[in-house]
Amino acid sequence: MLLNELAIEQVAEITAVKARGRQRRRLLDLGFIPGTKIKALRKSPLGEPVAYLVKGTVLALRKEEAELIEIRRLENE
């Protein structure tokens, strides 16, 4: 499953970051690291970007960035 498929209010764990090079480094720097828990918070009116809660900070990703992140859906606590 990819991050862009995660519905609002759902929680998941990042399993892999498929981006390469500078973009990969960028996503890792922002906290999108395999093993990290992530929650989709809200969508902008046009459907993207989507705001995610990751490591205590809210960050927004566009669809093409979210598509580079593989996740495993977790049950909401």
Partner 1 sequence: MNKSAESIALNLIRRNFNIKNDDNKPLIALAGNPNTGKSTIFNGLTGLRQHTGNWPGKTVNRAEGYYRYKGREFLLIDLPGTYSLLANSTEELIARDFICFARPDITLVVADATNLERNLNLALQVLELSTNTVLVMNLMDEAERKGIKIDVKKLESCLQIPVIPAVARDGKGLEEIKKTCYRIIREGIKFKGIQMSYSREIEEKIAGLIPVLQRNLTFLEDKINWRWLALRLLEGDKTILYSISTYFPVYREAVNIIQKGDVQLDGVN
Closest CB to partner 1 among 5 and 64? 64
Closest CB to partner 1 among 22 and 47? 22
What three-state secondary structure class fits 74? strand
Q: How far is the CB of 33 from partner 1 (least distance, A)?
A: 9
**Beta strand extents in 22-61 (DSSP E only):** 37-43, 50-54, 57-61
Q: Which two tokens stand for residue 41?
A: 């918070």
What three-state secondary structure class fits 22? helix
Q: How far is the CB of 39 from partner 1 (least distance, A)?
A: 15
- Summarize as ranges the residues that interact with partner 1 (CB under 8 A): 21-22, 25-26, 29-31, 55-57
